[in-house]
Structure 1
Amino acid sequence: MEGGDRIVGTVRSRYRWFLVWAAVVLVVDQATKYWAERTLSDGREIEVIPPLIDFRLVYNPGAAFSIGESMTWVFAIAAAAAVVGILYYARRVTSLGWALALGAVLGGAASHLGDRLFREPGFARGHVVDFIDYNGFFVGNVADIALVLGAIVLALLTFREVPLRADDAPAPADKSGDRSPEEAG
């Protein structure tokens, strides 16, 4: 396999990992929300790690910390733009770290988009299902965890200058040192 073919194969492999990881995040998030609605809809709270984490059902029309509760449609548009942008951007990823981090962010954003589009009170005004209560600090869900962890990994990859694509990697160093071609000759 030649270099170009190897990169194409790597891109396809990484894109598959990206899509699989995004699908896992989306399915796990929606499954846990389904569980929460069936189990906690009567107002019940379940202590998980007292006093740090409890499960209680909340419908969030806003963003993190319920910011912008009257702007649900704006968050639906932002989530749709994020999903489209990530799908486009991830097509040439050759780094597994980038693929998995982008997959986590995509899965979380897509799940939130699904809530906003298809849950009550109506299309593009739906509320996100939250149920993981962090000691009253905020209530979130699995998608939120994936979004935060994905963003942290993306920041670390950026900080460590891990290239997104193979063609973004720095060129190999010249073996002759820092001398000009005339000096090396």
Structure 2
Amino acid sequence: MAEAERIIGTPDVDDEAAAPAEPPKGRRKIAMLFAVALVAYLLDLGSKLLVVAKLEHHEPIQIIGDWLKFEAVRNPGAAFGMGEAFTIIFTFIAATVIVVIVRLARKLYSGPWALALGLLLGGALGNLTDRIFRSPGVFEGAVVDFIAPAHFAVFNLADSAIVCGGVLIVLLSFKGLDPDGTVHKD
């Protein structure tokens, strides 16, 4: 359509029909959620494959003096190695989180919530992949951790994504922003 026709309009042309179709706002947020989840998952998976191939059964790599090192550790439990006997429960929790996020995605109209839930989803998928496919067996696998700050737990990129997503959800909740894009004041 010529610029003059667009400005003036013509009775024969329906401007809405001529305009390129944009995906609904909700679909873009859902796509954002799954894109963030995919990136987080692939970064976690790639880093773990690299750690298992190059770092496992080798000396840790000092990154920043004694403050930070990369050290391959298999963690059958949760944070700080707690709950080693409950691996199957952690597997169930991760699977439940994934299902809840996927179901919640249908009502998602907020970019920040899409980012937060995408980080949670990608992290949960990363650690769930370890629980399913790594030894000692299906649904009992140990998670590969490798980021080892001094005086802190050893963790991985999935754990980082989960924590960042969780912190963002808390901040969004304090600001009153809901996943559907509405803002409420209490």
Work out whether the TM-score is over 0.5. Answer: yes
Question: C-alpha displacement at 1:112, in angstroms?
Answer: 0.7
Question: C-alpha displacement at 1:61, in angstroms?
Answer: 0.2
Alignment partner of 1:146 is 2:147? no
Question: C-alpha displacement at 1:44, in angstroms?
Answer: 1.5
Question: C-alpha displacement at 1:169, in angstroms?
Answer: 4.0
Name stretches of at least 5 consecutive residues in structure 1 with no aligned partner.
171-185
Q: Which amino acid aligns with 1:66?
A: G
Corresponding pairs, count: 164
| Poorly superposed stretches of 4+, deviation over 6 Å | none
Alignment partner of 1:95 is 2:123? no
Equivalent positions of 1:124-135 (< 5 A) are 124-135=139-150
What percentage of residue pairs aligned between the two structures are identical?
37
Report Cα offsets for 1:98-144 as digits up to 9, x if no partner.
00000000100111111101110100000000000011421000011
Structure 2 equivalent of residue 106 of structure 1 = 121
RMSD value, Cα: 1.5
Structure 2 equivalent of residue 10 of structure 1 = 25
Report Cα offsets for 1:40-61 as digits up to 9, x if no partner.
1123211112222100000000
Q: Distance in 2 between matches of 1:64 and 1:122?
A: 20
Name stretches of at least 5 consecutive residues in structure 2 with no aligned partner.
1-15
Alignment partner of 1:26 is 2:48? no
Structure 2 equivalent of residue 84 of structure 1 = 99
Equivalent positions of 1:153-164 (< 5 A) are 153-164=168-179
Structure 2 equivalent of residue 35 of structure 1 = 50
Equivalent positions of 1:39-78 (< 5 A) are 39-78=54-93
The alignment's TM-score, normalised by the length of structure 1, stands at 0.85
Q: Distance in 2 between matches of 1:131 and 1:60?
A: 10
